[in-house]
Amino acid sequence: MESSERDLWRRRTVTRDGVQLAVFEAGDTDAPTVVLVHGWPDTHHLWTHVAPILARRYHVVAYDTRGYGESDAPSGDAPYRLAELAADLFAVIDAVSDVPAHVVAHDWGSVQTWEAVTTAGADDRIASFVSVSGPNLDHLGTWAREKLARPTPTALRQALSQIASSAYTVMFQLPVVPKVFFGALGWAPVWRQFLHRVEGTAPGDVAVGPTLHHDMISGLRYYRANIRAHLFSPDARSTTVPTLEIVNTRDIALRSAIFDNTPRYTDGLWRRDLPTGHWLPYSRPELLAENAVDFIESIISGEPSATVARARVTGDTRGAVEGTLSVVTGGGSGIGRETALLLAAEGGEVVIADIDLGAAQKTADEITGSGGTARAYALDVADSDAFARFAATVAETHGVPDIVVNNAGIGLAGALLDATDAQIRRLVDINLVSVATGSREFGRLMVARGLGGQIVNLASAAAFTPQRGLGAYAATKAGVLLLSESLRAELAEHHIGVSAICPGIVDTNIISATEFAGATGDNQERLRDRMNGMYRRRGFTPDRVAVEILDAITRNRAVVPVTIEASVGYRVYRFLPALSRRMARTSLF
């Protein structure tokens, strides 16, 4: 044990049915108690970087589960069944706290805590549960049986993906092979290198105990004692303990889909999907501690923070953007409005910005009237300083958004030679500069947070279909397209996706506000009416664009031509540019 760890922990022993468990305490014993439960092949050392953060405000307790570290290791597999491990957890809680404790658990620590919280009377000992990288095996068994019983392409893909990710557990349950494998090497440096490769951890991030080699072999009994029994004959039980499920979307062992049926078995479930790997206590200890504190304090106070409120799961099915925060500019009408409505319907909280506050508020009211969460703000996206203040306000009031949709835009038609400097500057400021501003301001916040995200920028089919009478407008949208492609490359290392949406002819109210360069009075209205009529006859509504935007968010698509004319135009411009230029000579109005 390192000297810093010795300074942190106070050691004691808790005995249950003759098995001695090594228990380690830190922090003020009068504070609420948080019990930390490790998994394979770790010991209480897993919490080396998390425990000091939690100990600033809680009485923190970690223990080596039976078979690991300084705790006893009974012979055979039967002593390692989940019921025994859950009873150990209850014994530790009873020994260290007179009131129900909060539990944060990882990997097999989470698996055994799931067994505990689904045991009758768990509420008397456990006040809340933060589950990290460890499913309830009975829930998982039920999930797998249902997927294989109704093998739709999606269900089969999810099941096979999880089977492939869990293939190592088959080897772990063999009687001799894993012992030979784990007995062949000095594992501490190998284990650190493995975690560096799959998690990006530095050598100092991984605090292994001196018993690592023994623990790797001893811990195999957890697999042999439990996996086949619970997966092949699941007994899925429910819990009333408030539970936060942290789902690591880059987990090498567990696919996110296996947690989708958890709402069936929990009266109070919160879920946060993080773009992180399996060993979160090593790779991002401050992030894990932050989420744990946020949840525990929300449970203690009964007043959830904005982040916790978004993470609440309210139904048996999970929306495509459940628990996320989105910002949509130009959300008072058209594509922006329909996108905001769809994101809210899919479980997200939405911040709606528009130069017309009344229109933004109307969209927000429709969302809240349907049980969603939304807030409206007035914003002139052409005012870069105001945009920066808006981004700061959103981050301070609601949190850093997970999704940003830079949708606000205007049109300008007519010959470029007839356009004024003022018209072109306004067009560029709103259509291009504001997109750069929104991407920059929110992108910086996303990078600093370190949890990825998605930026969606509204370009147009005009970005790749040169057209007589739309040159200035097309130039701004081409700028948005190339800006988005370049920004996507810049932000990839931060796991922030950038999508450019390129609709064709869509029936929105943008035409009613479009200026025709060189036209005045009645002629201006006549041209607008003609163009409006063409867009209405096309009949492609903005809600259909919103569906494509949602798909771009969930699949991190780079360039999304919307409508058949956009798809055709995209390919013609790429493969037959001369034809594209010839087609541009045809006037639309």
Number of domains in the chain: 2
Q: Examine the pLDDT at 421 and tell me if it is beyond 60.
A: yes
Q: Which residues contact 160 (CB under 8 A, 6 or more apart)?
A: none
Does 318 reside within a domain?
no
Q: How far apart are CA 542 and CA 409, in angstroms?
A: 14
Both tokens assigned to 250: 């880059």
Q: Where are the alpha helices (DSSP H) in 266-356?
A: 280-283, 285-301, 306-311, 334-345
Both tokens assigned to 354: 């528009």
DSSP 39: -
Q: Are residues 201 and 253 in the same domain?
A: yes
The structure tokens 């530095």 sit at 202
| Tens digit of each residue's pLDDT (9 = 90 or more) over 287-326 | 999 999 999 999 999 999 999 999 999 877 788 899 999 9
Q: Are residues 124 and 193 in the same domain?
A: yes
The percentage of the chain sitting over the pLDDT mark of 70, rounded to a whole number, equals 93
Does 25 reside within a domain?
yes
Residues identified as active-site: 473
Q: Are residues 303 and 346 in the same domain?
A: no
Q: How far apart are CA 258 and CA 40, in angstroms?
A: 20
Tell me, what's the pLDDT at 539?
A: 66
Q: Are residues 280 and 140 in the same domain?
A: yes
Does 448 reside within a domain?
yes
Tell me, what's the pLDDT at 100?
A: 98
Does 248 reside within a domain?
yes
Residue that is last in its domain, among 313, 338, 368: 313
Amino acid at the residue 581 = R
The structure tokens 């409206």 sit at 376
* Phi, psi angle pair for 515, to nearest 5°: -90, 145
For position 120, which CATH number holds? 3.40.50.1820
Q: How far apart are CA 59 and CA 27, in angstroms?
A: 5
Both tokens assigned to 211: 């018993």
Q: How far apart are CA 510 and CA 410, in angstroms?
A: 6
Q: 126-132 and 59-63 as β-strands: parallel, antiparallel, unpaired?
A: unpaired
Tell me, what's the pLDDT at 261?
A: 92
Q: Examine the pLDDT at 585 and tell me if it is beyond 80.
A: no
Q: Examine the pLDDT at 2 and tell me if it is beyond 60.
A: no
Edge-first strand order for the sheet with 10-16 is: 10-16, 19-26, 59-63, 33-37, 101-106, 126-132, 243-248, 269-274, 312-313
| DSSP of 218-287 | HTHHHHHHHHHHHHHS-----B-S-EEEEEETT-SS--GGGGTTGGGGBSSEEEEEES--S-HHHH-HHH
Q: Are residues 513 and 383 in the same domain?
A: yes
Nearest to 107 by CA among 80, 132, 124: 132
The structure tokens 């055994």 sit at 112
Cis-peptide into 503, omega within 30 deg: no
Query: Helix or strand or coil: residue 4?
Result: helix
Contact 32, 24 (CB under 8 A): no
| Tens digit of each residue's pLDDT (9 = 90 or more) over 422-475 | 999 999 999 999 999 999 999 999 999 999 999 999 999 989 988 887 889 999
Q: Are residues 296 and 332 in the same domain?
A: no
Q: How far apart are CA 65 and CA 69, in angstroms?
A: 8
Does 589 reside within a domain?
no
Residue that is last in its domain, among 291, 313, 335: 313
pLDDT band for position 67 (cuts 50, 70, 90): very high
Q: How far apart are CA 279 and CA 94, in angstroms?
A: 28
DSSP 406: E
* Phi, psi angle pair for 470, to nearest 5°: -130, 25
Q: Average pLDDT, whole number, for the chain?
A: 91
Tell me, what's the pLDDT at 3?
A: 46
Q: Are residues 282 and 331 in the same domain?
A: no
Query: Helix or strand or coil: residue 332?
Result: coil
Q: Examine the pLDDT at 494 and tell me if it is beyond 70.
A: yes
Contact 499, 553 (CB under 8 A): yes
Q: Residue range 268-283: average pLDDT?
A: 95
Its domain, for residue 486, covers 325-583
Q: Examine the pLDDT at 533 and tell me if it is beyond 70.
A: no
Cα distances (Å, whole numbers) of residue 120 to 84, 299, 558: 15, 21, 49
Q: Are residues 241 and 370 in the same domain?
A: no
Tell me, what's the pLDDT at 510?
A: 67
Query: Helix or strand or coil: residue 545?
Result: helix
Amino acid at the residue 555 = R
Does 568 reside within a domain?
yes
Both tokens assigned to 296: 């525990």
The percentage of the chain sitting over the pLDDT mark of 90, rounded to a whole number, equals 73
Q: Are residues 495 and 567 in the same domain?
A: yes
Q: Are residues 110 and 157 in the same domain?
A: yes
Q: Are residues 301 and 187 in the same domain?
A: yes
| Tens digit of each residue's pLDDT (9 = 90 or more) over 177-236 | 877 777 766 778 889 999 999 999 988 899 988 999 999 999 999 999 999 999 999 999
Q: Which residues contact 145 (CB under 8 A, 6 or more apart)?
A: 234
Cα distances (Å, whole numbers) of residue 233 to 37, 86, 228, 484: 26, 19, 8, 50
Does 319 reside within a domain?
no
Residue that is last in its domain, among 290, 313, 336: 313
Query: Helix or strand or coil: residue 352?
Result: strand
Tell me, what's the pLDDT at 529?
A: 64
Q: 19-26 and 496-503 as β-strands: parallel, antiparallel, unpaired?
A: unpaired
Contact 460, 508 (CB under 8 A): no
Nearest to 340 by CA among 382, 305, 368, 378: 368
Query: Helix or strand or coil: residue 412?
Result: strand
| Tens digit of each residue's pLDDT (9 = 90 or more) over 502-531 | 998 776 666 666 777 667 766 667 766 666
Does 588 reside within a domain?
no
Contact 352, 328 (CB under 8 A): yes
Contact 462, 477 (CB under 8 A): yes
For position 529, which CATH number holds? 3.40.50.720
Q: Are residues 495 and 577 in the same domain?
A: yes
- Highest mean pLDDT among 342-346, 532-536, 568-572 belongs to 342-346
Tell me whether residue 236 is exposed, middle or buried, using C-beta atoms within 10 angstroms of its C-beta: 0 to 12, 13 to 18, 19 or more: middle
